[in-house]
Amino acid sequence: MTGTSVLHQSLLLAKKQDPPEHPQVNNIRLKEEECLSLLKRCSNMEEFKQVHAQVIKCWGLFSNSFVASNLVATCALSDWGSMDYACSIFRQIDDPGAFEFNTLIRGLVKDIKFEEALFIYQEMVERGVEPDNFTYPALLKACARLRALEEGMQIHGHVFKLEFQGDLFVQNALINMYGKCEEIEFSSAIFNRTDQKSVASWSAIISAHASVGLWYECLMLFGEMSREGCWRPEESTLVSVLSACTHLGALDFGRCTHGYLLRNISELNIIVQTSLIDMYVKCGCLAKGLGLFQMLAKPNRLSYSVIISGLAMHGRGYEALRVFSEMLRQGLEPDDVVYVGVLSACSHAGLVNEGRQCFERMISEHGIVPTLEHYGCMVDLMGRAGLLGEALELVKRMPTEPNDVVWRSLLSACKVHQDLEIGEVAAKNLLQLSSQNPSDYVVLSNMYAQAQRWDDVARTQIEMARKGLKQTPGFSLVEVARKVSKFVTQDRSHPEWVNIYEMIHQMEWQLKFEGYSPDTSQVLLDVNEDEKRERLKGHSQKLAIAFALIHTSQGSPIRIARNLRMCNDCHTYTKLISVIYQREIIVRDRKRFHHFKDGTCSCRDYW
DNA sequence: CTAGGGTTAG
């Protein structure tokens, strides 16, 4: 049925049925139904409006008849984006009932007009009309998206008063609403009370935990869900699970999830694919992530975002910039998060000029107001490159008050470049922000140690102790045979420590042939050279490598995650080990990855 | 007298 013919018919109808001389109820009824059937056959908004206009012209609006109700319903449920029109018809109904309210609210929610939906709901409450069990989930969805906890709780109150207290769909929507509003206890309480849980209930509770960053609990819940058996997780659940893997660096769990997806779902959607890419990249498998990215049919802004920040983490600055310009060529508009990726790519690869240009371009071309995070990247960029004065200037010029992250990155840059003067400025500001972060004191104290200012070292450490802060010990995690082992410096608590130290001894022999000599300059203890060398040997990363070399097969990569930056000596040492033992060694520190292969590191000694 | 519900990434 084409547009003209529906319109044509409505004109014919109008001609054929002039207002009757003696209108009868049945006659009107008939006309109503005829109008309705015409209106229902319309296939787009234009057509609908024209026919509607004809109907009004001939017979006036049947304002309180079921035609009007159906008009609202048709607009609300079609994909024509015609909610304004539906609202205007709705406003002409004198005494809207439950059906009109319900359809209008659901239409508004479907059209992402959440505020309006909640507004209509208030009107509904005032008139004493009850939403039905189909409308509560829509309202709760609106609250979830708007993070409108107060309204959400009001609706929950109404649901609570219902005799049946809402069905499973309403329960699931409540779990989700509280999750999105970061009220995880309420979410869990409702989840635990729900006896007939559906996949949606599990999805909702898992994503609730994901949205407050309880990643470990996410995986636990997922395990529980699988053990309960009857529910096969669906894509959306697994996206939350993958996100948890990403944040925990749980590569094995992530791989299993990928396998599960491949076995059970024929075509993965863009969200799952993007989550997979992010997981692989942030768990250290850049190549795998890049491979999946290249297979995307139509990458969107988020896909680009994850791959750009992934390349950044791996120190591949130029590639990140290339992908970024590819993204612009595709006509995708970058947002602030994409720019954080771009700027950190420049920072990790030491691309100072490129970074400056991007920062300018972000403001002038894309109209993005730089956030603290962007300034943080810029300070980092300048600082790493040794432009400490310029970095300090930038911090002073910032329109918003610099936070601890900004000062901290300036401080650590000062440590790398041994600039005690600016370092002290950064430290002073950092400590003024009443930092509870022990590592701030440690960095400062180490800087004093480097400058042989032992009095200041002592002073800083006393200050730290006075505040009851303890130095966070550095550790390295390594996964062997699906089990993660943790090593701290000089660790002798591992059941195999004797073997491990024997291995260290052998490694040192080989290293000496390659011309390795220990770099003790960063052992910041007031002890003699021999003692320093002894200390270096027992750094946690070396223990982890030794352990992995003993227990993994020739040629398989070694993955290590550590909580602190690695020292220069560990860096040189690991490069040599990678060539001597022909192993790829991937180390993740707090911020980025180092790929050691054939005697070089992906960071090109810039980190 | 009608229509029809939850969840997914950087």
Burial class (CB in 10 A: 0-12, 13-18, 19+), A340: buried
Domains of chain A, by residue range, sit at: 476-601
Question: What confidence category does residue A20 fall into, taking pLDDT thresholds of 50, 70 and 90?
Answer: very low
Q: Flag whether pLDDT at A37 surpasses 90.
A: no
CA–C1' gap, A85 and B1, in angstroms: 22
At A429-483, the pLDDT tens digits run 988 887 678 888 888 888 888 888 889 999 998 988 888 888 888 899 998 887 8
Mean pLDDT of A142-157: 94
Using CA atoms of A308, A314, A317, A318 in order, give the dihedral in degrees to the nearest 10.
-90
A84 C-beta less than 7 Å away from strand B: no
Can you tell me which residue has the tokens 């003699």? A528
A371 C-beta less than 7 Å away from strand B: no
CB A140 within 8 A of CB A176: yes
At A171-215, the pLDDT tens digits run 999 999 999 999 999 999 999 998 888 889 999 999 999 999 999
Question: What is the structure's pLDDT at A50?
Answer: 80
Distance CA A556, CA A313 (A): 22
* DSSP result, A340-363: HHHHHHHHHHT-HHHHHHHHHHHH
Mean pLDDT of A508-537: 87
Token digits for A321?
């910039």
- In this prediction, what percent of chain A has a pLDDT beyond 70? 91
CA–C1' gap, A195 and B3, in angstroms: 28
Token digits for A531?
């003692």
Using CA atoms of A227, A233, A237, A242 in order, give the dihedral in degrees to the nearest 10.
70
Can you tell me which residue has the tokens 């990790």? A348
A137 nearest nt, CA–C1': B5
Can you tell me which residue has the tokens 């227990």? A551
Choice between A50 and A218, residue whose per-residue pLDDT is larger: A218
Question: What is the structure's pLDDT at A440?
Answer: 87
Distance CA A208, CA A177 (A): 9
At A275-298, the pLDDT tens digits run 999 999 999 999 999 999 999 999
Q: Which of residues 152-211 of A touch strand B (CB under 7 A)?
A: 167-170, 172-173, 176, 180, 198-200, 203-204, 207, 210-211
A274 nearest nt, CA–C1': B9
Task: Give A130's DSSP letter.
Answer: P
A204 nearest nt, CA–C1': B7
A102 nearest nt, CA–C1': B3
Q: Provide CB contacts within 8 A for A442, sequence distance 6+.
A: A464, A471
CA–C1' gap, A64 and B3, in angstroms: 18
The pair phi, psi for residue A252, each rounded to 5°, is -60, -45
Distance CA A439, CA A430 (A): 11
Mean pLDDT of chain A: 88
> Pairing between strand A600-601 and A585-588?
unpaired
Strand partners, A480: A483
Question: What confidence category does residue A92 fall into, taking pLDDT thresholds of 50, 70 and 90?
Answer: confident
A424 C-beta less than 7 Å away from strand B: no
Question: What is the structure's pLDDT at A248?
Answer: 87
One-letter amino acid of A202: W
Question: What is the structure's pLDDT at A297?
Answer: 93
Q: Flag whether pLDDT at A21 surpasses 50.
A: no
Residues composing chain A:
607
State how far Cα A304 lies from the chain centre: 14
Token digits for A185?
């206890």
Question: What is the structure's pLDDT at A11?
Answer: 58
Distance CA A411, CA A419 (A): 9
**Which residue, among A163, A104, A162, has the nearest Cα to A138 in the 3D structure?**
A104
Token digits for A558?
């070694």
At A50-91, the pLDDT tens digits run 877 777 766 665 545 667 777 788 777 787 778 888 888 888
**Which residue, among A417, A393, A192, A477, has the nearest Cα to A174 in the 3D structure?**
A192
Question: What is the structure's pLDDT at A16?
Answer: 53
